[in-house]
Amino acid sequence: MAVFAEEVKLSGYTTLRLGGPARRFVEATTEAELVAAVRAADDAGERTLVLGGGSNLVVSDDGFPGTVVHVGTRGTESVPGENGRLLVRAQAGEEWEPFVARCVADGLAGIECLSGIPGRVGATPIQNVGAYGQDVSETIVQVRGYDRETRKVVTLDHAACRFTYRHSAFKGSDRYVVLDVTYALRESDESQPVAYAELARKLGVEPGARAPLKEVRDAVLELRRGKGMVLDPADPDTRSAGSFFTNPILDPAQLADLERRVAGRFGPDAAFPRYAESPAPDGTPRTKTSAAWLIDRAGFAKGHGTGPARISTKHTLALTNPGGGRTADLLALAREVREGVREAFGVEMVNEPVLVGVHL
Mean pLDDT of the chain: 96
- pLDDT higher than threshold 60 for residue 225: yes
Q: Stretch 44-56: mean pLDDT, rounded?
A: 96
Total H helices, total E strands in the chain: 9, 20
Amino acid identity of residue 311, one-letter, is: I
Core vs surface per residue 261-298: b (16+ CB within 10 A) or e: ebeeeeeeeeebeeeeeeeeeeeeebbbbbbbbbbbbb
* pLDDT given at position 341: 99
How long, in residues, is the chain? 360
**Residue 150 parent element (H or E):** none
Q: Which domains does the chain have, with CATH numbers?
A: 3-71 (3.30.43.10), 76-226 (3.30.465.10), 236-356 (3.90.78.10)
Question: Is pLDDT of 328 > 60?
Answer: yes
Per-residue pLDDT reduced to its tens digit, 126-158? 999 999 999 999 999 999 999 999 999 999 999
> CA angle, 87 as apex, 83 and 91 as ends, to 5°?
165
Burial annotation 31-51 (CB, 10 A radius, 16+ → b, else e): bebbbbbbeebeeeeeebbbb
Alpha carbon distance, N-terminus to C-terminus of the chain? 38
The DSSP line for 62-125 is: T-EEEEEEEE----EEEEE-STTEEEEEEETTSBHHHHHHHHHHTTEESSGGGTT--SBTTHHH
Instruction: Please name which of 233, 208, 231, 205 lies closest in space to residue 219, comparing C-alpha atoms.
Output: 205
Q: How far is 62 from 321, CA to CA, in rounded Å?
A: 17
Q: Give the residue-averaged pLDDT of 203-218.
A: 97
Q: What is the pLDDT of residues 186-195, one digit of tens each?
A: 999 999 999 9
Amino acid 2: pLDDT: 72
pLDDT (tens digit per residue) in 154-169: 999 999 999 998 999 9
* The residue type at 24: R
Residue 276: helix, strand or coil by DSSP?
strand
Q: Lowest mean pLDDT: which of 107-111, 227-231, 256-260?
A: 227-231
Which of the residues are catalytic? 166, 243, 352
Quote the pLDDT of residue 282. Answer: 92
Q: Which residues, in sequence order, are bridge partners of residue 184?
A: 87
Residue 226 confidence (pLDDT): 94
Cα angle 41, 71, 114; round to 5: 140
What's the confidence (pLDDT) of residue 1? Answer: 56
Q: Convert the pLDDT of each residue in 70-106 to its tens digit.
A: 999 999 999 999 888 999 999 999 999 999 999 999 9
Question: 3-state SS of 277-305?
Answer: ECCCCCCCCEEEECHHHHHHHCCCCCCCC
CB atoms within 10 A of CB 328: 16
Statement: residue 3 has pLDDT above 80: no
